[in-house]
Amino acid sequence: MPVVSEDQNDTRNGAQGSRRSRWARAAFAALSGVIAGFCALAVAELVAAVVRPEAGPVAAVGGAVIDRTPPALKDFAVRNFGTNDKLVLQLGILALLAVFAMAVGVLALHRRLLGSAAVLVFGVVGAVAAIGRPEGRVSDALPSVVGAVVAAGVLYLLAGRLSPAPGPSPAAGGRDAEPGHGTFDRRRFVIAASAAAAASAGAGLLGRRLTSAVQAGAAASRRDLVLPVPGSAAAGVRPPSRGGTADQIVARSVDGMTIGTPVEDVMDGRDAMLALGMNGEPLPFEHGFPVRMVVPGLYGYVSACKWLKDIELTTFDDYDAYWVKRSWSRQAPIKTESRIDTPRPFASPKAGTIPVAGVAWAQHRGIQRVEVRVDGGPWNTARLAAEDSRDTWRQWVWEWPATSGNHTLEVRATDRTGATQTEERVGTVPNGATGWHSVVVDVS
């Protein structure tokens, strides 16, 4: 049996201890990067509360990503995440930021200046994204720049706390340890990291409170607003004439969105309006308080500008609005469409008389007829509900004498011009989806 000397045991234990120390330093370095990233966001949010909330790096970078996302990918996000698409994007940005921060923290463990410089690069990206937004201004760069500078200093400080202290190393025969092979003072690191995290949390909380105060002021202004008695249920608004070269109204929102609307559609007698209220109350914030544009008969991307800031009369040749720059059509009248709301897809109703019902719409033209068919058979005319106006959706129902088995229901609508909804299925780009809506059910 081999005999292991005391010196050999000390050497082996020293090597194992050195490995554990390196892994611990790497883990703490990654944590340092995360703390620095948290510090950057918190300080940036505080500065953004003073400059304007839209200038924050997450909002700015998120907006820049949305601007450059292909339409097909946007459609996928809307289909799968609905109104939570922006939240999912922001969470994705934060997740990528966390990974980046950990990598930068490990880099700073060996190259403190290089790691801190990488944090500054992140700040430059946020600043460029903020200035490059449609409503961007030079001052919007401040939140990202200030946040990155503070975070770079925090990372440099924390990485310094992870530097090993020279000491005797058994592996080196009792000589002073070479750089990177000693132990570090964990207590000093924990104190510094805790202080940085606490200060960051305080800055972030203060920023949130300042932003909330601004939002509270907006809520108070909405609460104090008294709507006048309308002259009619929906009075049209006509833009001022500027001569013969003008065929587009460009509406701009406070967040930089631009919506282009055909002048001809606004002035043809439909109830185009600047809406201040809804259901007898001031507009909710999510619907565009204090004022938004509404033009019946046009898809929202060419008619429904929220949080309206200004309106410009121009031409389609002179200016392309936000969505037109992204391959959507300039003019987008709502197509004649219909859908089945009941029975639901893959439902299992009992055989017998089953009401098949839904809605149809052809804004500014009105619905004349809705038809339903089963398994590709003859079309059956549905019963229509009363029509409030040609700009509203119209309910319909057809009593189906259902038999047992698997069946496919389809619906189509015809508007008051005599045009029947097309069977051809296309996506939303460039000017709205088409195709007959269908539902598969299993009747027992």
Domain that holds residue 257: 248-326
CB 333 within 8 A of CB 405: no
Domain membership flag for residue 240: no
**Nearest-angstrom CA–CA distance, 25 and 183:** 9
Residue type at 41 in one-letter notation: L
- The reported pLDDT for the residue numbered 185 is 78
Domain membership flag for residue 157: yes
- The reported pLDDT for the residue numbered 230 is 65
CATH of the domain at 422: 2.60.40.650
- The reported pLDDT for the residue numbered 443 is 95
Domain membership flag for residue 407: yes
Cis amide linkage into residue 430, ω under 30° from 0: yes
Q: Are residues 42 and 107 in the same domain?
A: yes
Domain membership flag for residue 225: no
**Nearest-angstrom CA–CA distance, 76 and 85:** 10
Report which of 327, 320, 335 is spatially closest to residue 73, judged by C-alpha positions: 327
Q: Are residues 113 and 203 in the same domain?
A: yes
Number of other residues whose CB lies within 10 A of the CB of residue 386: 6
The DSSP line for 418-438 is: SPBPP---B-STTT--BS-EE
Q: Note if the pTM is more than 0.75.
A: no
CB 105 within 8 A of CB 36: yes
432-442 as b/e: b if 16+ CB within 10 A: bebbbbebebe
Q: Are residues 67 and 137 in the same domain?
A: yes
Q: Are residues 93 and 172 in the same domain?
A: yes
Q: Are residues 310 and 343 in the same domain?
A: no
Domain boundary at 326, 357, 385, which?
326
Q: Are residues 57 and 99 in the same domain?
A: yes
Q: Are residues 188 and 120 in the same domain?
A: yes
Domain membership flag for residue 331: no
Q: Are residues 212 and 277 in the same domain?
A: no
Q: What is the pLDDT along the chain (444 residues), one digit of tens a residue?
A: 555 455 545 455 555 556 677 788 889 999 999 999 889 888 988 898 888 877 888 777 777 766 676 766 666 776 677 667 677 777 887 888 889 889 999 999 889 999 999 999 888 888 888 888 777 788 888 999 999 999 999 999 999 888 775 555 444 444 433 444 456 778 888 898 899 889 988 888 888 888 777 666 667 777 777 777 766 554 444 544 445 578 999 999 988 889 999 999 988 888 888 998 888 889 988 889 999 999 988 999 999 999 999 999 999 999 999 889 888 898 889 999 999 999 999 999 999 999 999 999 998 899 999 999 999 999 999 999 998 888 889 999 999 999 999 999 999 999 999 999 999 998 888 888 899 999 999 999
Q: Are residues 65 and 185 in the same domain?
A: yes
If DSSP codes are grouped into helix, strand and coil, which group holds residue 310? strand
If DSSP codes are grouped into helix, strand and coil, which group holds residue 38? helix
Domain membership flag for residue 371: yes
Rg value, the chain, Cα:
32
Domain membership flag for residue 239: no
- The reported pLDDT for the residue numbered 263 is 93
Q: Are residues 322 and 342 in the same domain?
A: no
Q: Are residues 342 and 322 in the same domain?
A: no
Domain boundary at 277, 302, 326, which?
326
Domain membership flag for residue 341: yes
Domain boundary at 220, 240, 274, which?
220
Element spanning 358, H or E: strand 352-361
Number of other residues whose CB lies within 10 A of the CB of residue 135: 17
Domain count, the chain: 3
**Nearest-angstrom CA–CA distance, 263 and 331:** 10
- Which pair of tokens denotes residue 30? 């990654």
- Which pair of tokens denotes residue 306? 């929220």
Q: Are residues 58 and 164 in the same domain?
A: yes
